[in-house]
Amino acid sequence: MTTTVLVPDEQGLVTLGALDGVRAVRYAAGADLPPEAADAEVLVPDFLAADQAALVAALPRLKLVQLLTTGADAWIGRLPDHVMLSTCRGAHGGSSAEWVVGALLTVYRDLVGFADAQRAGRWTTHVTETLQGKRVLVVGAGDLGRQLERRLLAFDAEVTLVATSARPGVRALAELPALLPEHDAVVLVVPHTPATRGMVDAGFLARMPDGAVLVNVARGPVVDTGALLAELTSGRLRAALDVTDPEPLPEGHPLWSAPGLLLTPHVAGSCTGHRERAYRVVAEQVARFAAGDKPQNLVQGDY
């Protein structure tokens, strides 16, 4: 029994083609599907590609969509009931956690200010803040949250993890209003769901102490952009965003020139080796499916 898997790139052909009982077939988005698509039981969409959900209707035997990304919001609610959805949880947590640490160090050590002084030819010496001893609240305690905790502790920061429900080492989401005033930085690593959309509103931000830093490496709509702009413009809060709402950020949007903001274009997971790391996880999930088991990264409901 052979399981046919549609993959978007050469890395997929090499990695999944090496699995027992798996036939990997390459397809190109926007082009006619290969003849083997009629037998495909698994579809691997490309990274952050344009809408590929329309492919599903052309795959009569499809049973599983296996993502190369951790975020699944573009696919949730768009698949027939008989088609499973599996994420790439475990592949990109380290890269995104690294970005968060880099962003916090950039903010606290004023690296942007020093770079500006270098371009201007000014030898500007001043004392900066440090990540050491900072109290960091991480909202989300999955793979990325745990990866981030490990890295922040190495910098002697204090870390509090928050998830929907409490468990050893993790506080409950219901405690968030009381926790916000006690932390110097808040890092968002939650999935984008109806429950998290707009989670960071004016009330959330108002509970953060003066000078605190909001870091969003989740999805843009988790944060109310207007409320954040008001806090940045007043100078009360600072922020580091890898994701925005809207995204891509249009020319002339006020976030481009907002004071106290470090902004990158959704690149936290975009670094060398990201496809190799993703396909290692994808291979594990597809191998389980081909053996008759369910993938471990299946999306249940909104996540």
| pLDDT per residue as tens, the chain (303 positions) | 899 999 999 999 999 999 999 999 999 877 889 999 999 999 999 986 657 778 888 999 999 999 999 988 889 888 999 999 999 999 999 999 999 999 999 999 999 999 999 999 999 999 999 999 999 999 999 999 999 999 999 999 999 999 999 999 999 999 999 999 999 999 999 999 999 999 999 999 999 999 999 999 999 999 999 999 999 999 999 999 999 999 999 999 999 999 999 999 999 999 999 999 999 999 999 999 999 999 999 998 766
Q: How far is CA 235 from the centre of its chain?
A: 27
pTM comes to 0.91
In terms of Cα–Cα distance, which of 93, 103, 102, 142 is closest to 241?
103
On whether the CB atoms of residues 242 and 218 are closer than 8 A, the answer is no
Tokens of 144: 């990325």
Burial of 110 (0-12, 13-18, 19+ CB in 10 A): middle
Residue 84 CB coordination number (10 Å): 18
Tokens of 231: 């806090």
The pLDDT value given to residue 29: 79
CB half-sphere exposure, 207, CA atoms < 13 A: 16
Tokens of 97: 């956690």
> How far is 225 from 201, CA to CA, in rounded Å?
8
Q: Exposed e or buried b for every residue in 169-178, given b needs 16+ CB within 10 A?
A: ebbebeebee
Q: Given the DSSP bridges, would you call strands 84-86 and 135-139 parallel, antiparallel or unpaired?
A: unpaired
In terms of Cα–Cα distance, which of 70, 63, 11 is closest to 42?
63
On whether the CB atoms of residues 54 and 33 are closer than 8 A, the answer is no
Q: Given the DSSP bridges, would you call strands 84-86 and 64-66 parallel, antiparallel or unpaired?
A: parallel
The pLDDT value given to residue 73: 85
Please tell us whether the domain made up of 3-91+272-290 is placed in CATH 3.40.50.720: yes
On whether the CB atoms of residues 88 and 70 are closer than 8 A, the answer is yes
On whether the CB atoms of residues 51 and 76 are closer than 8 A, the answer is no
DSSP annotation of 87? -
On whether the CB atoms of residues 175 and 162 are closer than 8 A, the answer is yes
Type of residue at 25: V
The pLDDT value given to residue 48: 67
Tokens of 46: 């490309």
On whether the CB atoms of residues 179 and 137 are closer than 8 A, the answer is yes
Which option is the CATH number for 93-263: 3.40.710.10, 3.40.640.10, 3.30.750.24, 3.40.50.720?
A: 3.40.50.720
Task: Specify the domain boundaries for CATH 3.40.50.720 within the chain.
Answer: 3-91+272-290, 93-263
Q: How far is CA 5 from the centre of its chain?
A: 25
> How far is 81 from 3, CA to CA, in rounded Å?
20
> How far is 190 from 130, CA to CA, in rounded Å?
26
Across-strand partners of 26?
7
